[in-house]
């Protein structure tokens, strides 16, 4: 049977969006409590009864959380314009070599706004 699992990670970070118009509130430095859904998908092992250990997903994502948590995202290579869309793709690209069953990354910038990236 095909299964999708979601592991949630979170981090606090500041950013500003340099491509937004002058005077736009998001062009100023501000912060978010980012929530990220890491979704893996694949065939569930019928004998084992699970797709993958959630702890293994946490191990793979831990270095990224360490890199992002309590930093200014604009200072991280590849995130000079750290929109939710750009951040979702950046996280996906960092994880896919280590998490081949990765289906999508969903970045919640606020409780009502998110972006998701599911690869090319």
Bridge partners, residue 58, by sequence: none
For residue 88, the model assigns a pLDDT of 98
CATH of residue 64's domain is 3.30.479.10
Instruction: Specify whether 26 is catalytic.
Output: yes
Question: What tens digit of pLDDT does each residue of 52-83 get?
Answer: 999 999 999 999 999 999 999 999 999 999 99
Q: Which of 15, 32, 108, 109 is catalytic?
A: 109
Q: Which domain holds residue 88?
A: 2-117
Instruction: Specify whether 109 is catalytic.
Output: yes
Q: What is the CA radius of gyration of the chain?
A: 16
Task: Please report how the helices 54-68 and 84-95 are oriented relative to each other, as an axis angle in degrees rounded to 10.
Answer: 130
Q: What percent of the chain has pLDDT over 70?
A: 100
Q: Which of 26, 41, 72, 85 is catalytic?
A: 26
pLDDT above 90 (res 7): yes
Question: What tens digit of pLDDT does each residue of 16-27 get?
Answer: 999 999 999 999
Instruction: Specify whether 120 is catalytic.
Output: no
pLDDT above 90 (res 31): yes
The count of domains in the chain is: 1
Q: Which of 32, 70, 80, 85 is catalytic?
A: 70
């Amino acid at each position: 049977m095909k299964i999708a699992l979601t592991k949630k990670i979170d981090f606090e970070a500041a950013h500003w969006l340099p491509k937004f118009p002058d005077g736009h509130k998001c062009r100023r430095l501000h912060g978010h409590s980012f929530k990220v859904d890491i979704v893996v998908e694949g065939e569930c092992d019928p004998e084992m009864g699970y797709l993958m250990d959630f702890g293994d997903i946490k191990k793979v994502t831990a270095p990224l959380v360490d890199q992002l948590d309590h930093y200014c995202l604009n200072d991280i290579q590849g995130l000079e314009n750290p929109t939710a869309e750009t951040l979702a793709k950046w996280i996906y690209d960092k994880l896919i070599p280590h998490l081949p069953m990765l289906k999508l990354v969903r970045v919640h910038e606020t409780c009502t706004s998110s972006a998701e990236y599911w690869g090319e």
